[in-house]
Homo-oligomer: A and B are copies of this chain.
Amino acid sequence: MSVFRAVLTDVSLLRDAVDTISQLIGEGIFKADKDGISFNATDRAIVAVVDFKLDKNVFEVYEVSGTIKMGLNVDSLLQILKRAGAKDKLELSLSDDESKLNVKMVGETTRKFSMPLLDITEGEVPSPDNLDFSTKLQIRTPVIEEGVSDAAIVSDSLVFESEDDALVMRTDGDSSSAELRVDKNGGLLSLNGKPARSRYPLDYLKKMIRGARIADVASISFGKDFPMRIEFINPEKASMRFLLAPRVED
């Protein structure tokens, strides 16, 4: 018999992560093993990969037999997690017949939710680790948010361009343009590699930067007309990583 049971006193990290995932992915497989809970999937349009890990350290109680795979509707899970009060203790567990995920919230009242496990085929998901990025940088996420919001008034894509000591985010519309330049005097914490330039879809970037709720510094890797990897890492607790295909120009 498979066992999975995990108790959490602060639901915010899990809820924020599921909220971010739900922006990109409708349903997918949450995997629980001895290290913690993970989620790894491609969006329907195969433009983005989400790779999320929640360390077992985050849980007060964490029990699992082997590897448990739970196919879940991400938005339904989010709706349940949003019902947890700030002082509630949250328990996730596999139902005895292994057909449902149970979510229990214990506070002044005791509340039990259950949602069905879905039969989801595990597809091939590109790994964010095996790519040869030419440029790597670390940046405060509010700067990325600013660049993305600036661009939204002009166009639906955003060019990232690294120079020797600065990152430039640039958009050109029919006759308008927006450009943000940040260097180490701003929120750019580090920049390595050779100058590169690539264009990415704005709507995906907008959804991915919600990962900022997990960590306020993002590690970004990209190249010339190359995928971008964005990583939000909260050490020993959680990591939310994205891979985003470039919009290659004609």
A residues contacting B by CB (< 8 A) are: 76, 79-80, 83, 85, 100, 108-116, 143, 146, 149-150, 153-154, 175-182, 185-187
Contact = CB atoms under 8 A, between A and B. Distances in A.
Contacts of A114: 176-177
Given A149-B83, A150-B83, A153-B79, A111 B178 contact: yes
Contacts of A177: 112-114
B150 A181 contact: no
A79 to B, nearest CB: 4
B143 A109 contact: yes
Contacts of A179: 111-113
13 contacts: A76-B153, A83-B146, A83-B149, A83-B150, A108-B182, A110-B180, A111-B146, A111-B181, A113-B176, A114-B176, A114-B177, A115-B176, A116-B175
Contact of A180 (B111, B153, B180, B187): B111
**Copy number in this complex?**
3
Contacts of A154: 113
A111 B154 CA distance: 13
Most chain-B Cβ atoms within 10 A of its Cβ — which of A111, A181, A182, A185? Answer: A111
Contacts of A176: 76, 113-116
Given A76-B153, A109-B181, 18 more contacts: A80-B153, A83-B146, A83-B149, A83-B153, A100-B175, A108-B143, A108-B185, A108-B186, A109-B186, A110-B180, A110-B181, A113-B177, A113-B178, A113-B179, A114-B176, A114-B177, A115-B176, A116-B175
| Max chain B Cβ within 10 angstroms of own Cβ: one of A112, A154, A176 | A176
A151 to B, nearest CB: 10
Task: Give 10 nearest A-B pairs by CB, closest first.
Answer: A116-B175, A108-B186, A79-B153, A109-B182, A109-B186, A112-B179, A111-B180, A110-B181, A115-B176, A114-B177
Contacts of A146: 83, 85, 109, 111
Q: Which of A83, A109, A154, A186 has the most CB of B within 10 A?
A: A109
